[in-house]
Structure 1
Amino acid sequence: MFSILALATHILANVTEAAKMVDGSDLAPSNKVRQIRIAGDLMLGGVFPVHTKSQNPDEPCGEIAETRGVHRVEAMLYALDQINAQKDFLRGYKLGALILDSCSNPAYALNQSLEFVRDMIGSSDASDYVCSDGSDPRTRSINKKKNVVAVVGASYSSVTVQIANLLRLFRIVQVSPASTNADLSDKSRFEYFARTVPSDDYQAMAMVEIAVRFKWTYVSLVYSADEYGELGADAFKKEARKKGICIAIEERIQNKKESFVESIDNLVKKLQPDKKVGARVVVLFVGTEYVPELLKHTAERMKLSAGYSKKKIIWLASESWDRNNEKYMIGHNRLAAQGALVLMLASQKVPSFDEYLLSLHPGSEKFERNKWLRELWISKYKCSFDLPPESTENRCEDARQTGDNFHADDKVQFVIDAVYAIAHALQAMKSKVCPDDAIETSWISRYSKKPDICHAMQNIDGDEFYQKYLLKVQFQDIVGKNFRFSPQGDGPASYTILTYKPKSLDKKRRVADDDASDGSDYVEIGHWSENNLTIYEDELWWGADQVPFSQCSLECRTGYRKQLIKDEQCCWACSKCDDYEFLINETHCVACELGWWPTEDRKGCYDMSIAHLKHMRWSSLYSIVPAIFAVIGIIATLFVIVIYIIYNETPVVKASGRELSYLLLISMIMCYAMTFVLLSRPNTIVCAIKRTGIGFAFSCLYAAMLVKTNRIARIFSQASLSAQRPLFISPLSQVVMTSMLAGVQLIGSLIWLFVVPPGSRHDYPTRDQVVLTCNVPDHHFLYSLAYDGILIIACTVYAVKTRKVPENFNETKFIGFSMYTTCVVWLSWIFFFFGTGSDFQNLSLIDEPLPRKAKVKQAVETGSFGKALSVTGNVPKHVSPITTGETYLILEACQVARLVKQAVHTYVFGCPRNNGQSLVVKFGSS
Structure 2
Amino acid sequence: GKGIFGYKKITEWEKNKPFVLDKSLLKWNSDSDKIPRSICKEECGIGEVKQGDHCCWVCVKCEENQYVDINKCIKCPQGFGPNENKTSCLKLTIEFMTFNSPFTLIPIIFSTLGIILTIYIIYIFIRYNETPIIKASGRELCYVLLAGILASYLVTFFLVTKPNFASCLLLRFGFSTSLTICLSALFTKTNRLSRIFNNSIKQVRQASYVSPKSQLVICGSIISVQVVAIFIWISISPPGTSFDYDDPKRVILQCKTQNTHLAVSFLYNFFLVILCTIYAIKTRKIPENFNEARFIGFTMYSICIIWVAFIPIYFGTTAAAGTSKSPKNNYKIQLTTMAMCLSLSATVILFCLFVPKIRVVVLKPNKNVRSKSTLNKSSFKSNTQYKNSKVVLQSKCPGNFEKSLTVATVASSNSTTSSPVSAKTLIIFNLLSLNYKQSCLKVQVGNKN
User: TM-score when scaled to structure 1?
Assistant: 0.36
Greater fraction of residues in strand? 1
Match of 2:342 in 1: 871
Match of 2:446 in 1: none
Q: 1:806 to 1:673 in 2, by over 3 A?
A: same
Per the alignment, in what secondary structure is the counterpart of residue 766 of structure 1?
coil
In structure 2, relative to structure 1, the CA distance for the partners of 1:785 and 1:839 (3 Å cut) is farther
State the shift of 1:671 in Å.
0.9
Contact 2:103–2:333 (Cα < 8 Å) also in 1: yes
Corresponding residue for residue 426 of structure 2? none
Alignment of 1:564-603 (within 5 A): 564=52, 566-568=53-55, 574-585=59-70, 587-603=71-87
**1:657: Cα distance to partner?**
0.6
Tell me by how many angstroms 1:557 deviates: 4.4
Alpha-carbon shift at residue 302 of structure 1 (Å): 6.1
1:774 aligns with 2:245: no
What's the CA shift for 1:670?
0.6
- Partners of 1:827 and 1:852 lie apart in 2 by 26
Answer whether contact 2:12 2:19 (CA < 8 A) is retained: no
Matches within 5 A, 1:261-340: 303-304=11-12, 332-335=14-17
**What pairs up with 1:601-750 in 2 under 5 angstroms?**
601-608=85-92, 612-721=93-202, 724-750=205-231
* C-alpha separation in 1, matches of 2:216 and 2:370: 34
Aligned positions of 1:514-593 closer than 5 A: 556-564=44-52, 566-568=53-55, 574-585=59-70, 587-593=71-77
Residue 755 of structure 1: CA displacement?
A: 1.6
- How far apart, CA to CA, are the structure 2 residues paired with 1:710 and 1:808? 17
Per the TM alignment, residue 580 of structure 1 is displaced from its structure 2 partner at its CA by: 2.7
Task: Please state how far the C-alpha of 1:644 moved relative to its aligned partner.
Answer: 0.8
Q: Which residue is 1:481 aligned to?
A: none
Determine the C-alpha separation between the residues in 2 that align with 1:797 and 1:713: 10
> For 2:74, what is the secondary structure of its paired residue?
strand
Larger deviation, residues 574-583 vs 708-717: 574-583
Give the aligned residue type for 1:860: Y
Aligned AA for 2:11? K
| Cα separation, 1, equivalents of 2:213 and 2:279 | 21
Residues 748 and 584 from structure 1, CA distance in 2 versus in 1: closer, same or farther, beyond 3 angstroms? same
Contact persistence 2:96–2:254 (CA under 8 A): no
Alpha carbons of 1:802 and 1:590: their partners in 2 closer, same or farther (altered >3 Å)?
same
Asked whether the 8 Å contact 2:132–2:369 carries over to 1, the reply is no
> Residues 802 and 897 (structure 1 numbering): CA distance in 2 closer, same or farther, change over 3 Å?
closer
Residue 883 to residue 856, structure 1, CA distance change in 2 (3 Å): same
1:832-884 CA distances to partner (integer Å, 9 max, x unpaired)? 332233899x9xxxxxxxx989x743333222222221221122221111112
SS at match of 1:618: coil
| Residues 1:892 and 1:899: Cα distance change in structure 2 (over 3 Å) | farther
The amino acid of 1:631's aligned partner reads T
Whether the 8 Å CA contact 1:839–1:861 is kept in 2: the answer is no
Determine the structure 2 residue equivalent to 1:43.
Answer: none
Contact 2:112 2:153 in 1 (8 A): yes
- Report percent identity of matched pairs: 32
Please report how far the alpha carbon of residue 729 of structure 1 lies from its aligned counterpart in structure 2 after TM superposition. Answer: 1.4
Is the 2:144–2:181 Cα contact (8 Å) retained in structure 1?
yes
- CA deviations on 1:420-455 (whole Å, 9 max, x unpaired) are xxxxxxxxxxxxxxxxxxxxxxxxxxxxxxxxxxxx
The 3 A distance-change label for structure 1 pair 838 and 615 is farther
Partners in 2 of 1:882 and 1:876 — Cα distance? 10
Task: Find the counterpart in structure 2 of residue 287 from structure 1.
Answer: none
Give the distance between the partners of 2:174 and 2:12, measured in 1 at CA. Answer: 88
The aligned residue for residue 811 of structure 1 is 292
Residues 672, 875 of structure 1: 8 Å contact kept: yes
1:781 Cα offset (Å): 0.3
2-structure distance, mates of 1:837, 1:710: 37
For the Cα contact (< 8 Å) 1:773–1:839, is it kept in 2? no
Deviation readout 1:740-770 (Å, 9 max, x if unpaired): 1101111110121012111122223333343
C-alpha change, 1:839 and 1:554, in structure 2 (3 Å) is closer
Superposed CA deviations along residues 670-700 of structure 1, whole A, max 9, x for unmatched, are 1111122221222222222222221111111
Shift of 1:898: 10
1:861 aligns with 2:332: yes
1:567 partner amino acid: H
Q: How many residues align?
A: 358
Matches within 5 A, 1:40-55: none
Residues in 2 aligned to 1:898 and 1:781: alpha-carbon distance in whole angstroms: 46
The alignment partner of 2:223 has SS state of helix
CA gap of 1:838–1:633, structure 2 versus 1, over 3 A, is farther
Name the SS of the counterpart of 1:772 in structure 2.
Answer: strand
Alignment equivalent of 2:305, drawn from 808, 824, 846: 824
Query: Structure 2: which amino acid aligns with 1:559?
Result: G
Give the C-alpha shift of residue 775 in structure 1: 2.2
Q: Secondary structure at the match of 1:773?
A: strand
Contact 1:615 1:772 in 2 (8 A): yes
Q: Secondary structure at the match of 1:761?
A: strand
Note the residue ranges of structure 2 that are not aligned, 5 or more in a row: 1-6, 21-36, 378-407, 411-449
Superposition RMSD on alpha carbons, in Å? 3.5
Q: Give the 3 Å change call, closer, same or farther, for CA 752–809 of structure 1 in structure 2.
A: same
Following TM superposition, by how much is the alpha carbon of 1:651 offset from its aligned partner in structure 2, in angstroms? 1.2
- The answer for the alignment partner of 2:393 in structure 1 is none
2:155 and 2:175 in contact (8 A); partners too: yes
Residue 893 of structure 1 deviates from its aligned partner by 2.8
Structure-2 separation of matches of 1:826 and 1:801:
23
Q: Deviations over 1:606-649 (max 9, x none)?
A: 342xxx11211111111111111111221222221111111111
Do 1:631 and 1:672's aligned partners in 2 also have CA atoms closer than 8 Å?
Answer: yes
Structure 1: 5+ residue runs without aligned partners?
A: 1-268, 270-299, 306-331, 339-548, 843-850, 907-923
SS in 2 for 1:781: helix
Per-residue displacement from partner, 1:369-415 (whole Å, max 9, x unpaired)? xxxxxxxxxxxxxxxxxxxxxxxxxxxxxxxxxxxxxxxxxxxxxxx
Deviation at 1:799, TM superposition (A): 0.9
Q: Between Structure 1 and Structure 2, whose CA radius of gyration is higher?
A: 1
Q: Secondary structure at the match of 1:771?
A: strand
CA distance in 2, matches of 1:674, 1:901: 44
Q: Does 1:894 align with 2:365?
A: yes
TM-score normalised by L of structure 2: 0.70
Give the SS at the match of 1:562.
Answer: strand
Distance in 1 between residues matched to 2:409 and 2:331, nearest whole Å: 56
1:17 maps to which residue? none
CA contact (8 A) 1:595 1:607 kept: yes
Quick check: 1:792 aligned with 2:296? no
**Is the CA contact (8 Å cut-off) linking 2:66 and 2:75 kept in structure 1?**
yes
Q: How big is the shift at 1:900?
A: 8.4
CA contact (8 A) 1:616 1:680 kept: yes
Quote the Cα distance in structure 2 between the aligned partners of 1:698 and 1:747. Answer: 15
Aligned to 1:389: none
Whether the 8 Å CA contact 1:769–1:856 is kept in 2: the answer is no
**Given residue 346 of structure 2, which amino acid in structure 1 is its aligned partner?**
V
Matched with 1:189 is none
Shift of 1:787: 1.7
Q: 1:573 to 1:788 in 2, by over 3 A?
A: closer
Alpha-carbon distance in structure 1 between the residues aligned to 2:367 and 2:354: 20
Q: Is the 8 A contact 1:839 1:860 kept in 2?
A: no
Query: In the TM superposition, what are the counterparts of 1:759-770 in structure 2 within 5 Å?
Result: 759-770=240-251
Larger relative CO (CA 8 A, sep 6+): 1 or 2?
2
Evaluate the alpha carbon distance shift between residue 856 and residue 335 of structure 1 in structure 2; reply closer, same or farther with a 3 A threshold: farther
CA deviation profile, 1:280-327 (whole Å, cap 9, x unmatched): xxxxxxxxxxxxxxxxxxxx976147xxxxxxxxxxxxxxxxxxxxxx
Question: Which residue number corresponds to residue 320 of structure 1?
Answer: none
Distance 1:925 1:668 in 2: 43
